Structure 1
Amino acid sequence: MIVAVASGKGGTGKTTVATSLALACEGSVRLLDCDVEEPNAGLLLNPHLTIAETVELPVPLFSRDLCTQCGKCVEVCAFNALALAGKELLVFPNLCHGCGSCFYFCQNNALTEDRRRIGLVQQGWAGKIAFSRGLLDVGEALALPVIQEVKKNIGDEEHTVIDSPPGTSCPVIAAVRGADFCVVVTEPTPFGLHDLDAVTALLQTLGIPHGVVINRYDLGDERVDAFCREKGIPVLMRIPFDRRIARSIGRGRPLVAELPEWRERFRQLWRDVERMMWDARNCSTQR
């Protein structure tokens, strides 16, 4: 079973929930940290990393001798990574998405493939947890290829937990796509509610069953609960504002390790998620 943990808003406690789920899992489990711009699951799990692989994109190299300045490569580039300036073809590597269209349409083979590093994928173990994370290089904007490389590490484990990026943009879609269920972590604030609305609408569009965990539920108002009731979204768990929880996270200690009473609560969360996943599948097969 693949469970993604998402949040429209950053700072809601998404990684706390993702790592707690992985630690509370009773079967074999892999955690994928797909928040490649700021991967911090390792701060709580302290994994022993044994494998590191670079993530590269193909970018064009221009041969002045072979180019006829036909402009076809510029025309087909959807990302404005190429421009003709007289007899010179200008290549902007940071805009290139590595789609390969320019190579395909160049009739004179004036473009050859170079490789540009954009990030890194690391693998290892955090106790019983198989751990993988992506790291986007500083200054790079293309998180998507790094996330896709991280997700290639989904293996034979019984369960996979995906720590997704915050927001609702393309990296989030890449992270949650293919998940059997998505746990959405939110907080009872106006910003939390606004982004909860956005991310649940995205999950509805993608057809991914989902439920909500409300973090620091006792600091805000009832609008998040009212929203979930109105939309028919189950509230799976409520985590209070507790100084002991804040202290454990501040020390880099996972919630379920520092406060053992939470381990059984997250095991129950696993059971609830599995039940709702099968309910959703049964409903879809009956249609």
Structure 2
Amino acid sequence: MKIAVASGKGGTGKTTVSLNLALSLENVQLLDCDVEEPNCNLFLDHELEKVRDVQVQVPVISKERCDLCMKCVDACRFNALAKLLKSVMFFPKLCHGCGACSLVCPLGAIHEEGRSIGIIERSASSSSGTELYQGLLSIGEPMASPIIHALKTYIDDTRTVIIDSPPGLACPAISAITGTDYCVLVTEPTPFGLHDLSLAVELLKELHIPYGVVINRYGIGDERVDRYCSENNIPVLMKIPNELKIAELYSQGIPFVLKMPQWKANFLDMFSQIQKLTGRC
């Protein structure tokens, strides 16, 4: 089973839920798809090893063959190509690697080469049985989705897979969530939390992925998130209280199920709920 942990906004506790859920289960893969700033391994403190570079295909234009017909420029939807007086200028960080420019070139003046935009790293724990894969987008690179797509090729379908999604609802988050069996939406009981939760719910309806809600820092706000979930028949899978001990452990980089074993049972119960909701029990 593949379970995505997502949110409509950053800072709600996605990584907290992802890590503690993974550490409560056995034989688990954890994918940190927040590739702009992966942080799961800060709490696991495993030795990371590089698996491979991630490349996108970008055009290389032969000045000798190019006659400045502009067909490649017109075909590029992302404005990665621009015609100058005597050449075509290429902006590599705008390129999405779609290959349209090389297809429309009538003179065969364009071929593609790989350009590295980040890496995939792996770590594993013999004690917890948790295998971590994380993507790391190179500094200054604007596109996270190719890293996420590459990261998801390492999914082992024989294991339970927890996907820590990027924050928000843009292309990176959609890339992480797509193809999963269930999505856990982490929110907080505040007006901002409710607003972004409602947007995330609409996205998951469009993706036809079943979902439930974890309310983190429960007790700091009001009951509007509870009412919203009740009125829309959205299962509330867990409520994590705004408790000092949990915050202290987080600040020390310690997943709280390791020091508060009663919470391991709570996460196991949540996993059982997800199995029932997806018909996998």
Aligned to 2:8: 8
CA deviation after TM superposition for structure 1 residue 66, in Å: 0.2
CA deviation after TM superposition for structure 1 residue 130, in Å: 1.2
Aligned to 1:260: 261
Aligned partners of 1:50, 1:134: CA distance in 2, in Å? 12
Aligned partners of 1:122, 1:78: CA distance in 2, in Å? 32
Between the aligned residues of both structures, percent identity stands at 49
Describe how 1:41-52 pairs up with structure 2 within 5 A: 41-52=40-51
Describe how 1:85-234 pairs up with structure 2 within 5 A: 85-126=84-125, 127-234=128-235
1:59-86 per-residue CA deviation (whole Å, 9 max, x = no partner) reads: 1122111001111111111100001112
TM-score (structure 1 length as normaliser)? 0.94
Aligned to 2:76: 77
Aligned partners of 2:260, 2:158: CA distance in 1, in Å? 26
Q: Amino acid of the residue matched to residue 228 of structure 1?
A: C
RMSD: 1.3
SS in 1 for 2:279: helix
- Asked if the contact 1:62/1:110 (under 8 Å) is kept, the reply is yes
Describe how 1:9-28 pairs up with structure 2 within 5 A: 9-26=9-26, 28=27
- Asked if the contact 1:166/1:172 (under 8 Å) is kept, the reply is yes
SS in 2 for 1:146: helix
User: Number of matched residues?
Assistant: 279
Aligned partners of 1:50, 1:122: CA distance in 2, in Å? 5
SS in 1 for 2:278: helix
Aligned partners of 1:267, 1:205: CA distance in 2, in Å? 29
Runs (4 or more) in structure 1 with deviation over 4 Å come to none
TM-score (structure 2 length as normaliser)? 0.96
Q: Which runs of 5+ in 2 are unaligned?
A: none
Aligned to 1:31: 30
CA deviation after TM superposition for structure 1 residue 167, in Å: 0.5
- Asked if the contact 2:123/2:133 (under 8 Å) is kept, the reply is yes
CA deviation after TM superposition for structure 1 residue 156, in Å: 4.0
Q: Amino acid of the residue matched to residue 16 of structure 2?
A: T
Aligned partners of 1:84, 1:156: CA distance in 2, in Å? 47
Describe how 1:234-273 pairs up with structure 2 within 5 A: 234-273=235-274
CA deviation after TM superposition for structure 1 residue 185, in Å: 0.5
Aligned partners of 1:156, 1:145: CA distance in 2, in Å? 21
Aligned to 1:59: 58
- Asked if the contact 2:50/2:119 (under 8 Å) is kept, the reply is no
Q: Which runs of 5+ in 1 are unaligned?
A: 282-287
Q: Amino acid of the residue matched to residue 59 of structure 2?
A: P
Aligned partners of 2:50, 2:124: CA distance in 1, in Å? 10
- Asked if the contact 1:51/1:124 (under 8 Å) is kept, the reply is no
SS in 2 for 1:97: coil
CA deviation after TM superposition for structure 1 residue 219, in Å: 0.8
